[in-house]
A = this chain, B = another copy of it.
């Protein structure tokens, strides 16, 4: 039984007393419903009380190396003073202001720093608060662009096994929808193609051609080169280029979801830089704000923007969130970009890439290592042992890593590392050692 109902009737004094004696993990169970969690099966959440660099500290003093950079966000390390100092200063100056009718320096400076970093055709930034809203806005840009032009196009194209978020629009385009059952009847119409593997490129293009004939496709949303939630599945750049070319030829708005891949993780600033065909729209979040607080940006080309620029008010994009372009989040993002483009971080990225390459060579022929792959600071492989995505075996694997002081979060039988760029060589070695131990123990 979850502890919850009863305690509300305790006197405040009793409750205070309980709180002093109880662990955070236990107190947590009273009133918090965690994301992506079936609480009857996962009762206890680990309480983290401190984070510094690549290390998380739990309430019992145990340390964990943050091997996935807290969901690919804190790429410059936790509580990095180069970032927190600037945000603390901004908090003294301007905390928040409506972003309709107003602007502010952190947003302007961020736009001036981010635009030169993005593919050359990206010209405008539309702010929101998380990856789901960034992709919702991308989908709305694609649909309304054609609506504004008088084109009858209402279908979205997406990859099988793509993941783009959890709001209704974002769920619609996600192909990875194990748990979307209760909502599927309410989705936008989406048609799908497999990712290009290099081997199937021609078939994928043939399928796309027939879909383009059968459906009135407004936009194509895709995670370029790496599908994160699909367990760091990587696909073929040349195949993706051909898909994008065909889409562009048919005036399909190409929306690159770089929420996971953005900001240096693939070894380039954005995965789209590996491609010769530039996206019309890009979705950014996660590492955008350097792991400090939530924000997202949907960028677009002048062509997309011009599709909304009109004397008719109704042709504008009437989307807005209260804290859009929050000055603190913009400040964190600007500090993050300054770090990303610094010599030190660029050297860190190359160091991690080289380190992963060595580790890959070391384990690639191990009988339990299947399909090992790297791109930038991402390294992933399938543990060749039968298990289900959220099954007991996966949970034992997770526990094994945590017991070893390493926070890795296997996706089914896929083990991957996506650590902060600033992770030290010895911390990386500890992660590798825990993986090698798994290859023995499992």
Seen from chain A, the residues whose Cβ lies within 8 Å of a Cβ on chain B are: 2, 4-5, 8, 15, 19, 24-25, 27-28, 30-42, 45-51, 56, 68, 70-74, 78-79, 84, 87-88, 91-105, 107-108, 111-112, 115-116, 120, 123-133, 136, 139-140, 143-144, 147-148, 154, 165-170, 172, 178-183, 185-189, 285-286, 291-295, 300, 302, 305, 308-326, 328-329, 390, 398, 409
Q: How far is the CA of A128 from the CA of B291 in the complex (A)?
A: 16
Q: B316 and A38: CB pair below 8 A?
A: yes
Question: Whole-angstrom distance from the CB of A67 to the nearest CB of chain B?
Answer: 11
Query: CA–CA, A68 to B169, complex, Å?
Result: 30
Q: Across the interface, which residues of B come within 8 angstroms of A128, CB to CB?
A: 130
Which residues of B are found within 8 Å of A302, using beta-carbon distances? Answer: 4-5
Structural contact, A181 and B147, CB atoms closer than 8 A: yes
A104→B47 contact, CB < 8 A: yes
Contact B321 A294 (CB under 8 A): yes
Copies in the complex: 2
Check A100/B8 contact, CB under 8 A, given A294-B294, A294-B326, A326-B293: no
Decide: B48 and A102 in contact? CB cutoff 8 A.
yes
Q: Within the complex, what minimum Cβ distance (angstroms) separates A432 from chain B?
A: 21
Take A305-B33, A328-B292 as given contacts and tell me if A70 and B98 are in contact as well, using a CB distance cutoff of 8 Å. yes
Complex interface: chain B residues within 8 A of A112 (CB) = 15, 19, 27, 30-31
CA distance A87 to B316 in the complex (A): 36
Query: A18–B409 Cα gap in the complex (Å)?
Result: 47
B50 touches A315 (CB 8 A): no
* Shortest Cβ distance from A127 into B: residue: B35
Decide: A97 and B56 in contact? CB cutoff 8 A: yes
* Residues of the B chain whose Cβ atoms lie less than 8 Å from the Cβ of A183: 140, 143-144
| Known A24-B105, A100-B36; contact A94-B51, beta-carbon cutoff 8 A | yes
A326 to B74, CA, bound (A): 13
Which residues of chain B come closer than 8 Å to A100, judged between CB atoms?
34-37
Q: What secondary structure prevails in chain A residues at the interface with B?
A: mixed
User: Judging by beta carbons under 8 Å apart, are A28 and B74 in contact?
Assistant: no
Contact A318 B178 (CB under 8 A): yes
B74 touches A123 (CB 8 A): no
Which residues of the other chain, B, contact A179 by a CB distance below 8 angstroms? Answer: 313-314, 316, 318
Query: By the criterion CB–CB under 8 Å, are B33 and A136 in contact?
Result: no
Q: For residue A290, which residue of chain B has the nearest CB? A: B95
- Give Cα A180–Cα B140 distance, bound, in whole angstroms: 10
Cα–Cα, bound, A78→B90 (Å):
12
- What residues on B are CB-neighbors of A5 within 8 Å? 123, 302
Q: Is the CB of B319 within 8 A of A166?
A: yes
**Chain B proximity of A172: nearest CB distance (Å):** 7
Which residue in chain B gives the minimum CB-CB distance to A114?
B31
With contacts A123-B4, A186-B188 taken as known, whether A34 is within 8 angstroms of B99 at the C-beta atoms is yes
User: Do B168 and A32 touch (CB < 8 A)?
Assistant: no
Rounded to whole angstroms, the CA-CA distance of A188 and B188 in the bound complex is 10
Task: Decide: B318 and A36 in contact? CB cutoff 8 A.
Answer: yes
Bound-state CA distance A320–B42 (Å) is 15
Q: Is the Cβ of A94 less than 8 Å from the Cβ of B36? A: no
For the complex formed, measure the closest distance between the CB of A140 and the CB atoms of chain B, giving whole angstroms: 7
Find the B residue at minimum CB distance from A312: B38
Which chain B residue lies CB-closest to A19? B112
B131 pairs with A133, CB closer than 8 A: no
